[in-house]
Amino acid sequence: MPAQPNPPIAIVIPQRVSYDTAFARGVLTYTFTVQVIVGQVSERISQSLLDGFAPGSGASSIKVAIEGDKTLGGVASDVRVSEMTAYQSIVVGEITYMGAEFEVSVLAD
């Protein structure tokens, strides 16, 4: 987490790696949390901005943005955003921000 985030910002946090998730043991599944911080809780626009990122479709959708290139530039065989969780206030230093977390799974050889 940056000491002073400059929202909107997305922070990718590795969670786990699952081995041998396909026949012949050739596929790895990487799971990440993408934490999105949109602005200070006190700013009226923050909740509206976060609400725009939450849907599974639409121009501002985090899911659409991440899944728009299923190979992530050629380094993965598939990517999936499975859920948004933790729609919440996030305290960094002495500032309270509005944010949410998205679970992302990446399959790679």
Answer whether 100's CB lies under 8 Å from 37's CB: no
Confidence at residue 23, expressed as pLDDT on a 0 to 100 scale: 65
Q: What is the pLDDT of residues 12-46, one digit of tens each?
A: 999 999 987 666 667 899 999 999 999 998 888 99
Confidence at residue 34, expressed as pLDDT on a 0 to 100 scale: 96
Confidence at residue 3, expressed as pLDDT on a 0 to 100 scale: 75
Confidence at residue 24, expressed as pLDDT on a 0 to 100 scale: 63
CATH code at 9-108: 3.30.2000
How many CB atoms sit inside 10 A of residue 84's CB? 19
pLDDT at 1 over 80: no
- Give CA–CA dist 108/97, Å, rounded: 33
Q: What is the pLDDT of residues 56-109, one digit of tens each?
A: 999 999 999 999 999 999 999 999 999 999 899 999 888 999 999 999 999 998
Domain ranges, ordered by start, for the chain: 9-108
Q: Which tokens belong to 75?
A: 């380094």
Confidence at residue 109, expressed as pLDDT on a 0 to 100 scale: 81
